Structure 1
Amino acid sequence: MKRNVVIGVLGTTLDKRGKRENRWTKWRPTIGLCQQDWLTVDRLELLHQPKDKGMALQAAEDIGKVSPATQVVLNEVELSDPWDFEVVYNALLDFASRYPFDTESEEYLVHITTGTHVVQICWFLLTEARYLPARLLQTAPGEKTDRANSPEGTASVIDLDLSRYATLTSRFLREQQQSVSFLKSGIETRNKTFNTLIAQIERVALRSDAPMLLTGPTGAGKSFLAQRIYALRESRHLVKGSFVAVNCATLRGDNAMSTLFGHVKGAFTGALQARTGLLREANDGVLFLDEIAELGLDEQAMLLKAIEEKKFFPFGSDKEVSSDFQLIAGTHRNMQEWIAQGRFREDLYARINMWTFRLPGLAERCEDIAPNIEYELQRFARNQKSQVRFDKGAKEEYLAFACSSQATWRGNFRELSASIARMATLAEQGRVTKALVDEEVVRLKTNGQERGSSTVFSAVPEHIDLFDRRQLETVIEVCRNSPSLSEAGRRLFAVSREQKKQPNDADRLRKYLVRFGLSWDDVKNS
């Protein structure tokens, strides 16, 4: 049979019971573990600090009296601070690294009852990581008799087979997945890039209250995501206040100052009563400023102060007020271009740019159109109390169009939502038929062409061949929906670029536009 070897530290409190005879009536963990009927301790490796050597010798002597067959080996280990995790972990790891384990002929147990809580945690970590090829041993005082505790106490082995705790592990993973699913409102999205993005946003939302900037085309879901971030933080008790949202494109002049920062009575013509302002309404909560790039420069300066100092002056007041809010901002603008044109403060951008996430448009997430269709049908059913389903052939036809180049989806998810709502409203007996889909596809194509004539065509030079015109329209549309020249080039030349060792997509796109007398700025700003 293998010999049993116990490794443990001297308990400077629990093992310290003096030298008098009454020490034998008290429970001492290190001595008690050698008095168990079911456990034979052949060798005890007892770790102690140099200053406690006398106490360690006393413990070894007492073990010799209750268990003569137990060999006690004293090991001096210097712990400058037994409550410092790094100090303790390094010292115990050094001991484990030097120790001559013989697993062929010896079974090892690590006694975790004695020592500081830090020592106990480090024993667990080292054993679980298999730096110590051992099992954990736990001792406890026995039941009280008429006069004292049972001096030998009890002992038990802790099973570190984590497969026994699979339910706990699966619950943790389930909770984590539910957090991500919560941000996506339960939509089973399939786009790998988007799923990775949402997983990162979930981690940031639960770990940081720094400003977040959501970018991407109009209708990509920035407002919806901001609300879900707030709801997630609220569910974890990370915020106590409200979710307050405003579209900055609707704010102009005195109204902008008043809406955001509040005003005092008489601050301007028509200010008959004082106003709190959205920043104060968002105290201890989340303030979502959609289209933040549309804010005026004066409002931007005040917002920067409010973010950094949590204080600001209401319009027309000489008395500061405070508000501790988390800012989530949204924009479809190219912020670098906006800064270069002097339309957005660089210092404010630096402050809100710590966590920036670009939400891709619907055309970049064709894999997610099908699950979003199901989501929109469920939402229609909740709102209208009416179940609607696609006929099989009708759904296949709609998906084929939705994922094709004919569907521009300039309105992104907002446009998809409207499209599904139209068909669901017109559906007879809760069925979206092929005829309804045909009608909706024509409507989407017509809407796309009408919008294209007022936007894309304004940048296309006249008197060019139809072939070149159609190709250029596609290039311009991709440029309009891309945040940078390089990103537009990557999307346009995704196939051919793989054949080049050093593709320069931006330069290739720039040269193409020059052929028609166009530049990147012409396309983005026309």
Structure 2
Amino acid sequence: MRKRQVILGMLGTQLDAGTGPGRWEKWRPTVSLGQYEDFLPDRIELMLDERRYGKLATLVVEDLAQASPDTVVRRHDTYLADPWDFESVYACLHDFLRGYAFLPEEEDYYVHITTGTHVAQICWFLLTESRHFPGRLLQTSPPRKQNGEAAGSYAFIDLDLSRYDRIAQRFAQQRLEDRDLLKSGIATRNAAFNRMIEQIETVATRSRAPMLLMGPTGAGKSQLAKRVFELKKLKHQLPGRFVEVNCATLRGDGAMSTLFGHTKGAYTGASSDRAGLLRSAHQGLLFLDEIGELGADEQAMLLRALEEKRFLPVGSDKEVESDFQLIAGTNRDLHQAVAHGRFREDLLARLNLWTYHLPGLADRREDIEPNLDFELERWSREQHQRVTLNREARERYLRFATSADAGWSGNFRDLGASVMRLATLAEGGRINTALVDDEIARLRRQWRSGQAPSPLDELLGERVAGLDRYDRVQLEDVLRVCRHAKSLSQAGRELFAVSRTQKASGNDADRLRKYLARFELDWERVRSMA
């Protein structure tokens, strides 16, 4: 189906002027848009100051109707206090584009840069280059006398505006805002993570190639994929939907149907046609989390859908089309999965163009504080109730959260759940030290329950939390020696092998017995855990 041709442009207050029959002998750039035999617009969006140039616009619109009766002209009252001021012109055009309902799947867009000041032309170029305008630049020119073409000519052109520092600074600010969107507005401090976000912003804006997000569960892969979609949607690059599925939930025959759809009667229970997620993501973004869990057949079908934009629904002999952008997520090493024959090498090659490793929360401890503030603010906004940490409670929570004792095995999910518990239990919207102490103990138990208990945990129980890290490391090593020694004396000789040579006589067993007694332990109890 032919797309509609849409032109955005400003009324030429000088070039478009003209009255009487003689005006048809004059080249008028806006009127010329309806005079090209090989390029007739379906619609022109005409921007003008109605108060000053409304009469001229009416005449131009009437002449356009004579030149191209099928072209619809929509007038937009646009006031520019100073058409030569970069900041105000850019802001005006930026706001206009932001509120415009673009339909790139149905319409092709062009911006007419012949009319308007040079400042307006520069701003149109910047907005096009930054993808705020999803189209191309169109320049019209008057006819050459020798060829007698009344309409003149048109061309698509580029301009070099790197010398305009103020606009460049505004463009740089826009990029910072785009990166801020990818980070959900969180002022992250981890330098490596921030550099990764900078590149993702560039790639997301300029490319529709697949992207692979790797990292542990809870590292934020799903949230980042959604933010990439929102950024591309904001720039009118993806008119479709965001579609997400966790491939680990796809099992058996239902996996193919869920992804690629099926026809009625394709299998028992298929009582009607089903579009499938790939078709639902047409012109949008498909996020396949845990892609390493896909079966071999699904991997083969997905590869073909990526390369050819076509695939066969289950039970159908007719191919369907879907043009989507893919972001895949995984917490597995896909290269290792390829080596073991569990993942297709050609599919990984297709996904591996833009690969990013999202670090876990334990590897971004400097980002715990801004994420803590973000989670508190989000809870307050969703529950319509302000909640804060008092100073001492905040210091105590962050001291633990950023220490090596905090495992954060569930990453940001653990942090979000922790803040939710604290906020829910807070009286009067204030989280105190007692709540923080209880939460720290709860987190310690939670992380220990997900691991095989260490001998130290079994021997001391809750008292482990009261040990300094120095004592814990030392005691764990002592217990390892004791569990492998046949007697208290043998363990003492091994533990004090260096210092005992510096004494005329020594009772290593007694030294070890006294050391264990500091922690309310004795040899018999320690040996019983061997």
- Pick the TM interval, shorter chain: 0.5 to 0.7
CA distance in 1, matches of 2:165, 2:400: 45
**1:191 aligned partner, one-letter code:** N
Letter in 2 for 1:433: N
What is aligned with 1:7? none
SS at match of 1:257: helix
Tell me the equivalent position of 2:437: 438
Match runs of 1:261-300 below 5 Å: 261-300=260-299
Match of 1:95 in 2: none
Separation in structure 1 between the aligned mates of residue 206 and residue 162 of structure 2, nearest angstrom: 31
- 1:120-162 deviation digits (Å, cap 9, x = unpaired): x9xxxxxxxxxxxxxxxxxxxxxxxxxxxxxxxxxxxxxx997
The answer for the alignment partner of 1:255 in structure 2 is: 254
Q: 1:277/1:161 Cα in 2 relative to 1: closer, same or farther (>3 Å)? A: closer
Aligned counterpart, 2:383: 384
Separation of aligned partners in 2, 1:470 and 1:195: 42
Question: Which amino acid in 1 is paired with 2:356?
Answer: F
Match of 2:195 in 1: 196
Query: Residues 162 and 168 of structure 2 are in contact (CA less than 8 Å); yes or no, is this contact kept in structure 1?
Result: no
The alignment partner of 2:448 has SS state of: helix
Query: Is contact 2:178-2:231 (8 Å) kept?
Result: yes
Q: Relative to 1, partners in 2 of residues 1:355 and 1:433: Cα closer, same or farther, differing over 3 Å? A: same
Instruction: Tell me how far apart the structure 2 counterparts of residues 439 and 419 of structure 1 sit (CA, whole Å).
Output: 11
**Scaled by the length of structure 1, what TM-score is found?**
0.56
3-state SS, counterpart of residue 318 of structure 2? coil
Alpha-carbon distance in structure 2 between the residues aligned to 1:354 and 1:316: 33
Q: Aligned in 2, Cα 1:447/1:239: closer, same or farther, shift over 3 Å?
A: same
The one-letter code of the counterpart of 1:182 is: L
Change in Cα spacing, 1:469 to 1:352, as seen in structure 2 (3 Å) is farther
Pairwise CA distance, 1:337: 1.3
Is 1:323 equivalent to 2:322 in the alignment?
yes
Note the residue ranges of structure 2 that are not aligned, 5 or more in a row. Answer: 1-117, 123-160, 457-474, 482-530
TM-score (norm 2): 0.55
State the Cα distance separating 1:456 from its structure 2 match. Answer: 13
1:434-484 Cα deviation digits (max 9, x unpaired): 111000000000011110128999xxxxxxx9428899xxxxxxxxxxxxx
> Partner residue of 1:413?
412
Q: What is the aligned counterpart of 1:467 among 457, 472, 477?
A: 477
Query: What percent identity do the matched residue pairs reach?
Result: 57
Compute the displacement of 1:403 (Å). Answer: 0.7
Name the amino acid aligned to 1:467.
Answer: D
Between 263-272 and 446-455, the greater mean CA deviation after superposition:
446-455
Give the distance between the partners of 1:198 and 1:424, measured in 2 at CA: 30
Take 1:456 and 1:205, find their aligned partners in 2: how far apart are those partners? 49
Q: Aligned partners of 1:178, 1:190: CA distance in 2, in Å?
A: 16
Q: Which residue of 2 aligns with 1:215?
A: 214
Q: Could you tell me how far 1:268 is from its partner in structure 2?
A: 1.0
| Aligned-residue offset at 1:170 | 3.0
Shift of residue 381, structure 1, vs aligned partner: 1.0
1:443-454 equivalence runs, <5 A: 443-453=442-452
Change over 3 Å in CA distance of 1:237–1:361 after alignment to 2: same
Distance 2:453 2:349 in 1: 35
Distance change (3 Å), C-alpha of 1:385 and 1:267: same
2:433 is aligned with what amino acid?
K
DSSP 3-state at the match of 1:398: helix
Distance, in Å, in 2 between the alignment partners of 1:289 and 1:197 is 21
Write out aligned runs for 1:481-496 (5 A).
none
Q: Distance in 2 between matches of 1:284 and 1:168?
A: 31
| Cα distance change on mapping 1:331 and 1:455 into 2, 3 Å | farther
Other-structure match for 1:400: 399
Paired residue for 2:374? 375
**Contact 2:278–2:324 at 8 Å: present in 1 too?**
yes
Distance (whole Å) between structure 1 residues aligned to residue 477 and residue 417 of structure 2: 32
Match of 2:338 in 1: 339
Distance in 1, matches of 2:426 and 2:343, equals 47
Find the residue that maps to 1:214 and give its secondary structure. Answer: strand
1:245-265 deviations in Å (ceiling 9; x for gaps): 000000011110000000001
Q: Deviations over 1:277-328 (max 9, x none)?
A: 0000000100000000000010000000000000000011111001000000
Partner residue, 2:107: none
- Residue 350 of structure 1 corresponds to 349
Pairs within 5 Å for 1:21-420:
167-420=166-419
SS in 1 for 2:326: strand
Decide whether aligned partners of structure 1 residues 454 and 287 sit closer, same or farther in structure 2, where only a CA change above 3 A counts: farther
Residues 243/438 of structure 1: CA separation in 2 closer, same or farther (3 Å cut)? same
Tell me by how many angstroms 1:172 deviates: 1.7
Distance in 2 between the 1:402 and 1:209 partners? Answer: 38
**Deviation of 1:174 (Å):** 1.2
State how far apart, in whole Å, the 2-side matches of 1:253 and 1:161 are.
Answer: 56
Q: Which secondary structure does the structure 1 equivalent of 2:451 belong to? A: helix
AA of the residue aligned to 2:225:
A
> Per-residue CA shift, 1:57-114, capped at 9, x if unaligned?
xxxxxxxxxxxxxxxxxxxxxxxxxxxxxxxxxxxxxxxxxxxxxxxxxxxxxxxxxx
Separation in 2, partners of 1:441, 1:184: 27
SS at structure 2 position matched to 1:328: strand
- What stretches of structure 1 move > 4 A for 4+ residues in a row? 454-457, 468-471
Give the length in aligned residue pairs. Answer: 305
Query: Alpha carbons of 1:161 and 1:416: their partners in 2 closer, same or farther (altered >3 Å)?
Result: closer
SS at match of 2:428: coil
Query: Structure 1 residues 297, 421: closer, same or farther in 2, change over 3 A?
Result: same
Aligned partner of 1:321: which letter? V
Runs of at least 5 residues in structure 1 that lack an aligned partner in the other structure: 1-116, 122-159, 458-464, 472-526
CA distance 1:449–1:365, change in 2 (3 Å):
same
Any idea what SS the aligned residue of 1:409 has? coil
Deviation at 1:176, TM superposition (A): 1.1
